[in-house]
Structure 1
Amino acid sequence: MTPDLARFRSDLTRHLDWFAERRRKARFWWRDDDATRPSTELDRLLTIANTHGVEVALAVIPKDAEPALAARLAREPHAVVLQHGWQHANFQRADLGEKSAELGSRRDVAEALAELSEGRRRLDTLFGGRFVPVLVPPWNRIAPALSRRLETAGLSGLSTFTWMHAPHPAQIQTHVDMVDWRKGRGFIGWAEASRRLDLQLCRRRTNSSEPIGLLSHHLVMDEGSFTFLDELLRIAAHHPGADWPGVRSLVMPPAGGNGGGWL
């Protein structure tokens, strides 16, 4: 065991002990992006979810989703499906310095909503009750004019990344991405993973209602990222100071409940 891994385990356990000692729980949820078909990487991801009994919310690209993926997930006890845009295509202008987005400011709102409606119908047909109508915008970006009207496309929730806050009453964020996108898509490293989790867990000491969102991308993850997932869940999925509610309960709570919308 490396010193960084030992410190990661110690720091995470110490945080969760703090919550347990006060009879509180830090809440977590897990989202994985870009699924379209079965793969060995997806199998590995699902094995980790099943080993630790934690739900993984797979953001599936509707246009490219294969029936084989629905068949692969049919008997999975810990996997649900979210909607990852329509086709994961960029409509912004890179030559003007605009950041990539499928659902950004350059889209015609009516056209984009029609695509999202078609995508929602396709995922509902393929995955049935496993599909939760939550939109995950590609690149985690969405224009306010679209986010305000998602219900017209049959989508009741929205999930982005920590810096993207949109005008939507049921938005659930992700906060900890284990992939270093700027340096070869490798694992961010144990020290950086500890830092990111420490930041989120410290914040939850004063406001523990917002779940900490774990973000993975199984198709690009290296060995370090998969190991991180397993190590994190080995502690946090079995600790009395942690809770892993299903995504459905976060965006569609019972009548009178309080979910989503931590803006």
Structure 2
Amino acid sequence: MNVDWAPLDQELAHWHSAGMVLPIWWRDDDAIEPTPELNRLSELSVALGLPVHIAVIPATATPELATYFATRPHLIPVVHGWVHQNHAPTDQKKAEVGAHRPAPAVLDDIKRGTTRLRELFGLALRPMFVPPWNRIAPEVRDGLPQLGFKILSTATPRKQENAAPGLEQVNTHLDPIHWRDTRSLIPATRLIEQTVQLLKDRREGRADASEPFGLLTHHLVHDEQIWTFTRDFVTRLMAGPIQVWIMPTAEDE
């Protein structure tokens, strides 16, 4: 893949000159069981030195997945809805935990899912909630702290540090997959331009520079172009003035 990384390298150099440090993290969605694709993700995480927060679907997660994670501490399980089922009408954007059902029923599903993942992963499970399709109703969001969650993760730069009292917002910012078209890689030039603009907005005070910058991937649907871009993109970031962010366990907080 022939990619011009110079704009990203230059932006990271500006961060270095300004004495700024970029917190970064990695989230990958939709795990339910060990697969060759998950194994490839795990190996890439080790090679890059960047742990991956894996959003696990509770209803279908297998005990084998928990066994797989147990010997791979760089794979960090977090809660991904309940069954990853769309409840929105066909003329609306997909959502599992949106406003299409009563909030108490949705929160009951989330509680059930959290209990199941705690049984599978024990203390390794982080108190982070990832809504399927990155969409969540305000009434559901506001109930997450009562279920023990400390962080909500969706997408795009956060507007404020806390999504609700006692609930920090830590989002993802770059998704390399062209979901609405090829389902392959968005043109790398466009992804680099998007990243540079996001980082420039932080550096120049138009966005929250303290929010960890999040890469979002979906290992089960990657083609070779996506795998290659992910590897090269993270390699470039890791060479800059960065600090790796990892969600603490409930005990560490």
Match of 1:258 in 2: none
Match of 1:144 in 2: 138
Which ranges of structure 2 fall in alignment gaps of 5 or more residues?
none
Match of 2:98 in 1: 104
Q: 2:30 aligns with which of 9, 13, 34?
A: 34
Q: Secondary structure at the match of 1:145?
A: helix
The whole-number CA distance in structure 1 between the counterparts of 2:80 and 2:242 is 28
Q: 2:187 aligns with which of 186, 189, 198?
A: 189
The whole-number CA distance in structure 1 between the counterparts of 2:179 and 2:157 is 16
The whole-number CA distance in structure 2 between the counterparts of 1:243 and 1:11 is 20
Bigger Cα displacement from structure 2, 158-167 vs 223-232: 158-167
Describe how 1:182-221 pairs up with structure 2 within 5 A.
Answer: 182-207=180-205, 208-221=209-222
Describe how 1:155-174 pairs up with structure 2 within 5 A.
Answer: 155-162=149-156, 167-168=163-164, 169-174=167-172
The whole-number CA distance in structure 1 between the counterparts of 2:23 and 2:7 is 17
1:28 shift after superposition = 1.2
Q: 2:72 aligns with which of 54, 73, 76?
A: 76
1:163 shift after superposition = 7.1
The whole-number CA distance in structure 2 between the counterparts of 1:238 and 1:247 is 22
The whole-number CA distance in structure 2 between the counterparts of 1:153 and 1:118 is 10
Q: Secondary structure at the match of 2:127?
A: strand
Given that 2:158 and 2:169 are in contact with CA atoms closer than 8 Å, whether structure 1 keeps it comes out as: no
RMSD: 2.0
Which ranges of structure 1 fall in alignment gaps of 5 or more residues?
255-263
- CA 1:161–1:150: 2 relative to 1, 3 Å: same
Given that 1:50 and 1:77 are in contact with CA atoms closer than 8 Å, whether structure 2 keeps it comes out as: no
1:253 shift after superposition = 8.4
- CA 1:253–1:175: 2 relative to 1, 3 Å: farther
Given that 1:32 and 1:59 are in contact with CA atoms closer than 8 Å, whether structure 2 keeps it comes out as: yes
Match of 2:123 in 1: 129
TM-score w.r.t. the length of structure 1 is 0.87
Q: 2:148 aligns with which of 151, 154, 160?
A: 154
Identity %: 35
1:213 shift after superposition = 1.1
How many residue pairs get aligned? The number is 246
1:152 shift after superposition = 2.2
Q: Secondary structure at the match of 2:216?
A: strand
The whole-number CA distance in structure 2 between the counterparts of 1:209 and 1:252 is 23
1:223 aligns with 2:219: no
Match of 1:61 in 2: 57
